[in-house]
Amino acid sequence: MSSAHRILLVDDNPADANLTCEVLATSERPAQVSTVPDGEQALQFLHRFGQFSEASRPDLVILDLNLPRKDGRAVLAEVKADPELNDLPVVIFTTSHAPRDIARCYELGANSYVSKPGNLGQFFSAVRSIENFWFGYASLPD
């Protein structure tokens, strides 16, 4: 793996995206975070279309569910159905803790599902845990 970990963060809420990026920036492992605000741009980024022709393939995708234009479930489904992209680890990071949503995401092939906590401290903790596990302990495809 190259020096900096590459993360694609898909979140339409700038406040949440900001928080997440702040936590990722404080990690002991340098990370390059690209943020896109909707599902369509997420797919364009992964396919390196249009404005994203120079984008590099991320090592991890952190994906919210309720997104404009194309929602997170659709993005997940497309990524996991694409032989070029299906080995990409996708962590769903969303406010929903509805069992229905959780089950659906796993059916679509999500690698992991983490609920965004309402409490600030727990939110930071959750993001740190995600970064810590996926880049500190797990082995990822190149």
Name which of 10 and 116 has its Cβ closer to another protein. 116
- In angstroms, the CA 49 to CA 4 distance is 23
Which of 49, 82 has the CB closer to another protein? 82
Determine the Cα–Cα distance for residues 116 and 9; give it in Å rounded to an integer.
14
For tokens 């959780």, what's the residue? Answer: 102
Task: Kindly state the smallest distance separating residue 99's Cβ from another protein, in Å.
Answer: 6
- Is 54 or 142 the residue whose CB approaches another protein more closely? 142
State in angstroms the smallest separation of the CB of 30 from another protein: 20
Can you give the binding site for another protein, defined by CB under 8 A? 13, 15-16, 19, 86-87, 89, 95, 97, 99, 102-103, 106-107, 109, 111-116, 118-121, 123, 126, 129-130, 132-134, 136-142
Q: Please, are residues 81 and 110 in contact by the beta-carbon 8 Å criterion?
A: no
Of 108, 22, 34, 23, the C-alpha closest to 65 is: 108
